[in-house]
Structure 1
Amino acid sequence: MAKTVTTEYGSWNTQSGTGVDTVTEAVATALGEFAGDYDLDALTAAYETAINEALADTGMTLNGSEFYGPYPRGDVDIRAIVEGVDFWEIARQHERGAIAYTADVGASNAKWIVADPEMRALLHGEVTDLGDGKIRITSDGYEILSGLDESADGLIDDGQIWFEGDGYPLAVS
């Protein structure tokens, strides 16, 4: 089995074009005086996930405040990729006062619902993997998942989200 060698491609500060050291700082800076109107932890996690999804075709990842990718280094315009992620659409989904739901569905279910190509196409970022098996579902995502076929994983019914016949309670957040 061939091993892939990785190397650093630079830090968030040097590659993102935001002028700050971390994704968390970039989020807070973009929101400015309105930062308190948003769930910053969930928004930051969703933004990082979206950036990593945008980087996926390059073989690169954002890990903390550093970009890593295959060696030898390719010619990748990281700044353009970061700028191509619609931060404000992600922010809209994490605005406080907007109804959202959370559930502890286990790590494998959380990863599946945000990474499965069919679910990603259906949900358009309306579900966020918060880590540790927890997910956040926007009100639009709730509507979409409530309309799934009864046998489908991810179905929301009776205040629960269902995976492989097991229901996980939803909490309003």
Structure 2
Amino acid sequence: MKKILTLLGLALALSTTSLLATSPLMKIAGKVNDIIITVAEADQTLALLTKGKKSWDQLNKIEKTQLIRMMAPSKIVAQKATKLLTTKEKERALSGFWMQKETSQTSITDKEAQKAYKEMIKMAKKSNSKQQIPTFETIKNSIKMQLAQEKVVAKLIKNANIKLK
């Protein structure tokens, strides 16, 4: 019975995949190491590159080949990462990417950064630091990035349900 169910499941999966690949929703633009690149993916890439001025259907054969070759490295890297990274490595990479995304979407004003800079100078003086502190303009972006990360972490911790057993 298990073998029959397994075979049925496998047959269903293969037929569904082949149906999707031939459906108008998933036209295939090309393949890289048996990784399918859809026309939709190619159009997304073209939209970024040409600011929406060109689509897959407007490209000639040479341009289509160039586009697939340009998209190939990210597809191959993703395939290798999926196969070769451990679960912990994948979790770290994913959490790092998510943190980077959230941080970039968190806005920090110059006023907030200036306040943090003044606090940093105050702490340096209090600890009698001999290290010279760069000007605000020199480190403004670094301060903003750090403050954005702190905001994201604070929000996560605030919403976390932490219990000790």
TM-score between both structures, scaled by the size of structure 1: 0.28
More helix by share: 2
* Relative contact order higher in (CA < 8 Å, ≥ 6 apart): 1
Structure (1 or 2) with the larger CA radius of gyration: 2
More strand by share: 1
